[in-house]
Chain A
């Protein structure tokens, strides 16, 4: 097991390093010139050539790519991710503040979509070809074809505009001091984005669990239990769940990329101040440092999820603990 863990950890570190390189390369390939982006057109036009050269030296826009990458990754190792232009604060501060909102949203949606998808999958698989099975399949099929942001818009129209049950956006009531915002306020603003994200995220787990349940229900031990007179529900609880739960949890850990991608869109629709919305603001406003920082955080979350999934696979199936090379 120790070797297996070491192997997985090294893979994680290498992937993080590579994605930091990809992210940095993409961000620095941008045609947006840091000098003109930061100074503004009018100021740039009135500046002398020496001033411009001084500024471009200050921002290091003439330094070669590898030198810049080395200094960025070096600072990163000390927890310094640079300054955000749009928020006028250190990137790590902006991310820390936003991550709280985003992690609340994502973890709620992650757990809810997992539980909902698992339940739907088990019930559908146990009652194959019944109404609920067909409903589940149709739901997952339609869901796979619907754009997440459109589902969010629909939820916004129905529950916020027409019914007025939930606020239209943001993470706290407008015009209230931050110290006065109660936990209930925050929850009220979090609810609709989280529900949307969970509803959109169930498809994979539900379909996978459904297949697995059908497999399990065809096993001899299930037939024996049924022959002994146990009810269908009892068979599923006693014999089904222990075969189904761990694979579903593992699958859910590999779904973090989906959840994060969905949260970018959902946060944008609900004007929810999380990481995803900050990434969009950074991308449109030319805030390279913040965009790179958020991309790295998202990669770390996804690779972390995959890492846990890999370890769980090892727990489920001891054969996978043998490290294969190549």
Chain B
């Protein structure tokens, strides 16, 4: 037995399907999964707030796989509705943030040394105040609530992507094909559209998708602290912060399953992001 285990553990790793099709399938499956979570969650939103005091505080069982809470709400339904809300807020905020990143990154690369230095300095400044503290400050400034979180997440997540886009545009600007196009008399708008955009777009999309997990986690964290979405919304952060009051009563399922589901969603987003990166980058597509 022990020998069999040791053979198994020391066996060379079986190679994963080394082709683009497998990656593509994984990405599509992940996107479909996330899409159905959002759709089902939105459809379940009214059911998530339905109380049923005859069935409260039930530990996980077949009828209620995630158990029920102190008001008899089914935790599976609440979790899916919460995930859907978190994904939507995260998506919206990350998209807004990526627009900021695109604007600042291209400005830094194209508008001369002063603008470049200013943008880099701004990035340094943004990374100086811890994200969570900055999110609390922005939520405070906007009077908490939905807008507070969304704007907060949008305003704090652009620095990393800005750096990527700046580097990408800089490289493209000094490349041979752009200088040839320029000496052929191509207009600036056409260079931007025909040469720059295709070069930057893949990195931009990958960066945007890899921003989603961060946005979702930060939304959950700030909601958990009490600044984000309001208590009557079934957000994951709300579910987890409510669960704190019942932990010492031994109701572990209130915290464990919603958290695991959130980790699952974040990891699926990661699969999509790194899958697309592999697909658009010819050097690593066969890895």
Contacts and interface: CB of A to CB of B under 8 A. Distances in A.
Interface of A: 15, 18-19, 22-23, 26-27, 29-32, 129, 131, 141-142, 145-150, 153-154, 156-157, 161-162, 168, 257-258, 260-261, 264-265, 268-269, 276, 279-280, 283-284, 286, 288, 291, 294-295, 298-299, 302-303, 306, 326
Contacts of A26: 137-138, 140-141
Given A147-B220, A147-B221, A149-B224, A298 B248 contact: no
B225 A280 contact: yes
B202 interface: no
B128 A15 contact: yes
10 contacts: A26-B138, A147-B240, A148-B221, A149-B240, A153-B255, A154-B255, A283-B139, A284-B226, A284-B227, A306-B128
Given A154-B256, A302-B130, A306-B128, A147 B248 contact: no
A261 B131 contact: yes
A36 B205 CA distance: 46
A25 B243 CA distance: 35
B22 interface: no
Nearest to B113: A326
Contacts of A142: 263, 267
A153 B266 contact: no
A283 B136 contact: yes
Contacts of A148: 221
- The residue in A129, A150, A298 that gathers the most chain B C-beta atoms within 10 A of its C-beta is A150
A261 B214 CA distance: 13
| Shortest beta-carbon contacts, A-B, top 4 | A150-B259, A261-B132, A261-B130, A145-B266
B18 interface: no
Contact of A156 (B125, B132, B247, B266): B247
Contact of B129 (A19, A141, A288): A19
A98 B244 CA distance: 23
- The residue in B124, B220, B256 that gathers the most chain A C-beta atoms within 10 A of its C-beta is B124
B124 to A, nearest CB: 6
B255 A27 contact: no
B156 to A, nearest CB: 11
Nearest to A12: B128
A15 B122 CA distance: 9
A264 B244 contact: no
Nearest to A271: B244
A265 B131 contact: no
Given A145-B266, A283-B225, 10 more contacts: A15-B128, A18-B125, A26-B137, A27-B140, A153-B244, A161-B247, A260-B132, A288-B140, A302-B129, A326-B113
Nearest to B252: A157
A145 B133 contact: no
Nearest to A306: B128
Interface string B82-115: 0000000000000000000000000000000100
Contact of A291 (B117, B124, B125, B137): B137
A265 B225 contact: yes
Contacts of A288: 140
B261 to A, nearest CB: 10
Contacts of B227: 283-284
A153 B127 contact: no
Contacts of A147: 217, 220-221, 224, 240, 259, 262-263
A295 B213 CA distance: 25
B15 to A, nearest CB: 13
Interface in B158-207: none
B13 interface: yes
A32 B270 CA distance: 39
A316 B127 CA distance: 23
Contacts of A23: 129, 137
B250 interface: yes
Contacts of B262: 147, 150
Contacts of B113: 326
B255 A279 contact: no
Contacts of A326: 113, 116-117
